[in-house]
Amino acid sequence: MELTGVQAGLLEDYLNPFNSLIGDRRTRVTLGETVKGIIAAGSLVCQRIAAKSERLSAAREGGQRVSRLARGESTKRSRVGAEDLTRVLRERGIAHLAEAEADELWLVADQSELRKPYAREMPQLMRVRDLDGSLVPGYRTINVLGITPSRRGILYHRLFSSRAQDFVSESQETQEALQTVSQALDGLKQRMAITWIVDSGFDDVALWRTIWEQGEHLVCRLKHLERLVAYQDEAGRWVEGDIAAARQRLKRLATAQTEMVVRRKGQSRAKRQRVPVDIRACAVRLTYETNVRREGPGETVQKVLWLIEVSLPGTGLEPWLLISDWPVTDADKAVRVFQMYRQRWAVEDSFHFIKDTLGWEEVQLLDLEGIRTMLALGWVAAGFLYELGVTLDWEEVRLLARLGGWAERKNNKPGKIILTRGLRCLLDMLVSQTILQQYRSEHGHLPPRIAALLHLPNPEEL
């Protein structure tokens, strides 16, 4: 994605807070050109980044300058490691979110894999799941995205490996993310209600406890249906059981509509379409110890939560089972919690965006801290693109969307995946043109059948 002159100026302003990490002019230039090169190249490969920077491509060993920056070898007077970069990125994201006139902030947290299935020499590779569920070499990351109705901000990112020397446990990595973000948001908590919206990987009482102790709310998709709770029988008495038994007491509260890619009964393939949603809920009571996975004494706490089941009739999809401390006592509140969980998919969109558009999984360094720093630089680039915004007023965006298969009609805005697909189509076209031109230069003309296929029956017209 090539930046215009105005956008390049906005990028300089966006990077100004990162100057506090820089101790010399050469590093400042390299950092700025690296972020610009990541955006233009759509890659985290050092040579490709340098090739897309006018200054780095003209310099001797431009790719090595990017590599040395990531590994910290040329920045003795600067602090541009992953931890410092993400701290400044978090401060920038919070300032951006604070400008929104909103009384709620939703924190979408998730883990995502960085898969390197063919890597053999990269450091401390662990085993992660690919899209088919098979184990492949790679790393895991924890990421947190802050969302208001009009803004997004990247609040946390960390790559880790179970084989790294600083690794304690995945639970500890997640606790660190929860606490770091919460502490950074202290200034916003006075006017914003904070809700963590998380997937089944966060179905853990120790994590829930931390969120509640921080004065924040929770919407979590459940995985452990054997979890012990109490629920109310027909007479209103609390009965001991588990989540699976509590589901029998769910009551339908609301119906809604949502748009998603599904295959409904009778359809030959999945497509994006509006589908009905049924929402049922009931109260449950959770009893837990505050010292779970902690040293020292604790106390027993009982907390009333709401169990919510979201089903999509006619799709064959398994219902989503959610739990939340937000009361779900009527139709409006049921729909609100459903909408909150739907926003969790925004983080999936962000992961697709950075992986596809910025070439997240292309990183190729033989040093774990270097990999972490390069990935953090990718998130810095993503943060700029989020703030820059993507609107259909851009002629370039409309064309990319059409190349990606977007059909222009009312209330049908293209997402980042469509735009990425369009960008890939454009790049494929440029590659094809280059190959065709090289063939013509070598042979004088294209083969007759290829020329006819391109509606160029006369090779001399090429």
Is 310 buried (19+), middle (13-18) or exposed (0-12) by CB count in 10 A?
buried
pLDDT of residue 103: 93
398-413 average pLDDT score:
68
Tell me the angle at which helices 25-41 and 368-388 cross, rounded to the nearest 10 degrees.
70
Per-residue pLDDT tens over the stretch 218-246:
999 999 999 999 999 999 999 999 999 99
pLDDT digits (tens, 9 = 90+) for 163-206: 998 899 999 999 999 999 999 999 999 999 999 999 999 999 99
pLDDT band of residue 297 (cuts 50, 70, 90) is confident
Phi, psi of 298, deg, nearest 5: -140, -170
**What does pLDDT average to over the chain?**
85
Mean pLDDT of 286-301: 91
What is the per-residue pLDDT for 291?
92
Higher pLDDT, 229 or 462: 229
Strands 193-198 and 104-115, by their bridges, are parallel
pTM over 0.85: no
Q: Quote the CA–CA distance of 25 and 18 in Å, as a whole number.
A: 13
Per-residue confidence (pLDDT) for residue 45, from 0 to 100 = 86
Q: Which of 268-277, 303-312, 360-369 has the highest mean predicted lDDT (pLDDT)?
A: 303-312
pLDDT at residue number 129: 87
The strand pairing partners of 307, in sequence order, are: 282, 323
User: What is the tens place of the pLDDT at every residue in 422-461?
Assistant: 766 766 676 677 788 888 888 888 888 888 877 665 544 4
Copy the structure tokens of residue 421.
């697909």
Per cent of the chain over pLDDT 70 is 86
d(CA 432, CA 420): 18
Locate the domains of the chain by residue range: 5-79+366-391, 222-328, 396-461
Give me the pLDDT at residue 393, please. 47
pLDDT at 262 over 90: no
Q: Dihedral sign for Cα 217, 222, 223, 229, please.
A: positive
- In the prediction, which pLDDT does 208 show? 97
